[in-house]
Amino acid sequence: MPVELLLPRGSVLGWQPTEPFRPARGIVSGHAQTIFAHFARSARAPACTRERWDTPDGDFIDVDILAAPPGAPRVLILHGLEGSSRSGYVASVLRLCRARGWGAVALNLRSCSGEPNRLPAAYHAGDTRDVTFALAELQRRGEGPLLAVGFSLGASMLLTHLGDTRERSPLVAAAVVSAPFDLAAGVSAVDTGRGPTALYRRRFLRRLRKKGLAKARTHPGLLDRRRVRKARSLLEFDEAVTARLFDFTGAADYYARCSAVAALPNVRRPTLLLSAADDPLVPGRTVPVTVARANPYLELLLTDHGGHVGFVGGTMLRPRYWAEQQVVSFFAHALAASVGAAALLDVAAAAPG
């Protein structure tokens, strides 16, 4: 089965994919999809304007803004662990937004824009401060309808935000791609995996340790530099750095309190959950099918293949990135439904009593 759309009863949108996902020939396995997409996906993005927004806690975030006419939809884009606004999947969404005449804001998580953030702590998978702040800033500016998409760790942040805000969320709709619903299981998969998974682990840890050691130098006494330097797994890094900087009792406490699966029952905005069963970083068994189907605001799109933020269709010479196309299609459907609902309310309000 190439794709399965698992809809709850009474789904608020009833959206359907534009086409089933068929992996490009020769790029079928989860690792092949993940690696090919990472290296081959174009990072060429439309012209954007970078702005620095000072946050209420004395830090800052750097955002890249794709301009659009007043009133046009705006899409907030959240990247994954140690990604940035220059990640290929972010550029892909920016190109699709431009093609539709939409605006977009690609948010660089703290420390990911090329410049260290000011405060000791940067971000973690359940940290919603900057998502909430960015959406509030867009509301303050009077932008058009707001949408948001998160990839990997950014997907976890977005789901947590949706669960926390419920009916108060300013979003018309949201989408998440390759979300790590169970942090402990995802970390375990990365930490114990061999072959390509070991390469992912070393790549993540090389960047994370470098940032952790930099924080130890700029904030003496806060972190144990020896523990940071010796971390050879994500679990050890989270014990030495994430838990310390964000006041968790340890990595297990962090994973238990911040896994996005807990947010799913509380989501009150149409949200697309797009995952692959062969994701090498997010075990397919952790995709919460039953929980997702119990909430009419969630539409779970689960594919047999696709890897982690891969979903490479087309051919090797002319790849097509299916996930981003489905996200934008979902958003267009949600916007149309929102406009239709508003029109019905206007008609009802104008009708004689």
Is residue 279 annotated as a catalytic residue, yes or no?
A: yes
Q: Go through 34-68 and write b for each residue having 16 or more CB atoms within 10 A of its CB, e for each that does not.
A: bbbbbeebeeebeebeeeeeebeeebbbbbbbbeb
Instruction: Exactly one of 87, 308, 329, 333 is catalytic; name it.
Output: 308
Is residue 178 annotated as a catalytic residue, yes or no?
A: no
- 190: closest CA among 233, 160, 241, 220? 233
How many other C-beta atoms lie within 10 A of the C-beta of residue 198? 13
- Burial (CB < 10 A; 0-12, 13-18, 19+), residue 279, is buried
Q: Catalogue the E-assigned strands of the chain.
A: 3-6, 49-54, 60-66, 74-78, 103-108, 146-151, 171-177, 271-276, 298-303, 312-314, 319-321
Instruction: Exactly one of 64, 127, 182, 279 is catalytic; name it.
Output: 279
Instruction: Exactly one of 152, 156, 178, 259 is catalytic; name it.
Output: 152
Is residue 38 annotated as a catalytic residue, yes or no?
A: no
The residues with which 54 forms a beta bridge, in sequence order, are 60
Could you list the active site residues? 152, 279, 308
